[in-house]
Structure 1
Amino acid sequence: MGRDHGFHPVRITRIIQETADTRTYVLDAPYSYRAGQFLTIKACGALRSYSMSSSPATDTELMTTVKRVPGGLVSNWMHDHLRPGDVVETTLPAGVFCLRETDAPLVAFCGGSGITPILSLAKTALATTDRRVRMLTANRDAGSVIFESALDELARHYPDRFGNQHHLDTRNGFVTDRQVRDFAGGDRDADFYICGPTPFMDLTERALLEHGVDPGRILIERFGSQTEAPAADQPVAGQGESEGTVAIVLSGKRHTVPQHSGETLLESARRAGLAPPFSCESGNCATCIAQVTEGEAKMRVNNALDDDEIADGWVLTCQGEPVTPHVTVVYED
């Protein structure tokens, strides 16, 4: 039996205004979770994933932090309409952007609201291990720095093991490759965590690789935005019908379509005229998860499911491609 990936009602107990455009939602949610994981919230007919900023080791309340995105459907609705006492629907925590069992230093690069999961990781690592933790936090200006007081408190509490370097774009320009390499310094054997806007993450990853860091030590949290779904009868370039079938079980009903080469399970479901759940379509949020009960599918990208879930047949349908002639995939009700 796989982990419960359904939605559950959760009450908001408090809302903390972190900056002018960022709020932390304190949830009455008795979920167990790992530092660095996220929740997926259902609102406005859409699904969005937000990381926990709380630490399971140091915080008694579960918190998720949401930055208002210009034009963002869900983030703007949450900021404009949600109040303490309101109920939202969320999944159980998911994600693999987590701490590994190691004594190596933790070196993190955060851009804007990308600090959210990394604060959870930093607090947990400091409280439960003897690891050193260093963070470079990049923000637009002084008014957009999220969790400044929490970072100051960590520095006071762990003066020998924690350090944070603030970077303000308005004062210093955007972070450069050289700054990333200089901040990494001689800690090439550290675990490097990266989260923030895509250009920031791409630059940081490239600079670390050029600095000689093993790719296996670079952990990146990417949340893509939802893309427009093609019409069910719209052909996709480069795809042709191949031998085999894909059976999709959604809301208890089974639908079968011919396999198309290069097509994901999610794309097959859409071609069958179905509307299964999905959000990022990048292999990051686990919203599109389903279980393969017959045959086998291989994921192009997986930043959300752990090894036990994969062994149980769970797959990110936006990334899963059939590798056997016949595949059956079942979405949870």
Structure 2
Amino acid sequence: MARPPLFQRATVTRVVPETPDARTFVLEPHDGPLRYRAGQFCTFRVTVNGDELFRSYSMSSAPETDGELMTTVKRVPGGAVSNWLLDNLGAGDEVEITRPIGRFCLRDTDLPLLGYSGGSGITPILSLTKAALAATGRRVRLLCADRDADSAIFAAAFDDLLRRYPDRLEVRRHLDSVGGLITTAAVRAFVGDDAAGDHYLCGPEAFMALVESALPGPGQVFSERFGDVPPLPEEPSAPASTPATSGGTVTVILKGRKKSVPRRDGETVLESARRAGLSPPFSCEQGNCATCMALVTSGRATLRRNEALTEEELEDGYILTCQAVPDTPDITVDYE
């Protein structure tokens, strides 16, 4: 069976203003509707000032409630892709996106769902909330932190959900402009008697670290982290030492080019591809975003970390090349 391409084109059918610095893009994939789960994300590939860049954005839609695919983007200081999308993308324009990916999804349980969002981290939390309310009987409680009232994304959407599910949905808004940054005590007061529920976190790293440290347990904790984009590594002119080789070859196929290099101990497939002179796609390099996703066509590899690929994708042979270290002497990986 032919595997679908990782990237595909989609048309922006309309743009919905959410706040002064956030917009929702409604997308129509050219190859037909995409199958996805609430809480997943797509990675966008855009060219900005001649550079090919990749960034991941969560779905604000949910398949249980929405007939259209929607993702929401917020302007951030220095956000090369986010700011470019907001400044340049309008109805009728086309973008390149991956199929939806990610494991920040609902599990099959009747436990209450507690969501914690900071800023635009509310995007996948909205998706999960809509799915849980529409398709399960679970209670949903949300703690949403924003800079100020004008920054609160999806206020109207949550007002509508509160009207429809008054007995199952609670939304608690925390404004930094009024109460300062959220505290451990505030998180624990919000949790109350629902510590055993499922806890979903998305937002700035400092916000998520505080919430994680505040949660008393024993409930399961799920977090969505795309990570900061690291700079491309500089090629050393005269390395002090060369990593040991153990025999074998790493072969990488990318954009019609096939390059092979000797395998080095502990080196990831992404690092091998760079050493081969290729420029493979990547973004977070932390196993979170799946931008570097590729297919192993021969050999095997172990992932140091995986917060993006599903069990089905792993079984099909997909890897995150930024986290994949070959297990076999020879391995071939295809980005196409």
Corresponding residue to 1:192 among 199, 202, 222? 199
Q: Which consecutive residues of structure 1, in runs of 5 or more, have no partner in the other structure?
A: none
Alignment correspondent of 1:77: 84
Over the residues paired in the alignment, what is the CA RMSD in angstroms? 1.8
1:1-333 map, 5 Å:
4-29=4-29, 30-44=33-47, 45-208=52-215, 211-214=216-219, 217-232=220-235, 240-244=243-247, 245-332=249-336
| SS of aligned partner of 1:26 | strand
Range that drifts further, 172-181 or 267-276: 172-181
Cα deviation, residue 236, structure 1: 8.0
Letter in 1 for 2:27: L
State how far apart, in whole Å, the 2-side matches of 1:236 and 1:128 are. Answer: 57
Corresponding letter in the other structure for 1:26: V
**C-alpha separation between the residues in 1 aligned to 2:207 and 2:269?**
31
TM-score, normalised to structure 2, is 0.93
Distance 2:315 2:145 in 1: 38
Q: Deviations over 1:271-299 (max 9, x none)?
A: 11110111121211111111122222111
Q: Deviation per CA, 1:120-176: give whole Å up to 9, x if none.
A: 000110000000000000000111000011111111111110001000011111111
1:285 counterpart letter in structure 2: C
Deviates more, 1:98-107 or 1:316-325: 316-325
Q: Distance in 2 between matches of 1:155 and 1:323?
A: 51
1:163, 1:236 → 2: CA distance? 57
The range that moved more, 218-227 or 254-263, is 254-263
Cα distance change of structure 1 residues 151 and 203 upon mapping to structure 2, 3 Å threshold? same
Q: Which AA in structure 2 matches 1:21?
A: D
Question: Residues of 1 paired with 2:270 and 2:319: CA distance?
Answer: 10
Query: Separation in 1 of the partners of 2:40 and 2:176?
Result: 28
Secondary structure of the 1:175 match is coil
Give the percent of matched residue pairs that are identical in Structure 1 and Structure 2.
55
Q: Using the TM superposition, give the Cα deviation of residue 232 of structure 1 relative to its aligned residue in structure 2, in angstroms.
A: 4.9
Rounded Cα–Cα distance in structure 2 between residues aligned with 1:82 and 1:19: 16
SS in 2 for 1:285: coil
Q: In the alignment, residue 217 of structure 2 is paired with which amino acid?
A: G
Classify 1:259/1:234 alpha carbon distance in 2 versus 1 (closer, same or farther; 3 Å): farther
Q: Is the 8 A contact 1:233 1:271 kept in 2?
A: no
Aligned length: 328
Deviation at 1:117, TM superposition (A): 0.6
Separation in structure 2 between the aligned mates of residue 109 and residue 226 of structure 1, nearest angstrom: 23
User: Per-residue deviation at 1:238?
Assistant: 8.8
Give the SS at the match of 1:79: helix
**Are the counterparts in 2 of residues 239 and 262 from structure 1 also a CA contact under 8 Å?**
no
Distance 2:93 2:198 in 1: 38
Confirm or deny: 8 A CA contact 1:3 1:309 kept in the other structure: no
* Greater Cα offset, 259-268 or 121-130: 259-268
Residues 262, 178 of structure 1: alpha-carbon distance in 2 compared, 3 angstrom cutoff: farther
- Is the CA contact 1:231–1:271 (under 8 Å) kept in the aligned structure 2? no
- Judge conservation of contact 2:246–2:265 (CA < 8 Å) in 1: no
- Following superposition, the deviation at residue 234 of structure 1 comes to 6.2
TM-score in terms of structure 1 length: 0.93
Deviation at 1:235, TM superposition (A): 7.8
Q: Mean Cα displacement is larger for which, 318-327 or 122-131?
A: 318-327
Q: Distance in 2 between matches of 1:11 and 1:251?
A: 24
In 2, are the aligned partners of 1:248 and 1:256 still within 8 Å (CA)?
yes
- Cα distance change on mapping 1:135 and 1:282 into 2, 3 Å: same
Structure 2: unaligned runs, 5 residues or longer: none
CA distance in structure 2 between the aligned counterparts of 1:55 and 1:180, rounded to whole angstroms: 27
CA positional deviation for 1:212: 2.6
| Deviation readout 1:179-203 (Å, 9 max, x if unpaired) | 2222122222211100000111111
Question: Which amino acid in 2 is paired with 1:331?
Answer: Y
Q: For residues 229 and 247 of structure 1, what CA distance do their matches in structure 2 show?
A: 21
1:247 aligned partner, one-letter code: T
What is the one-letter code of the residue matched to 2:90?
A: R
Indicate the SS of the match to 2:286.
coil
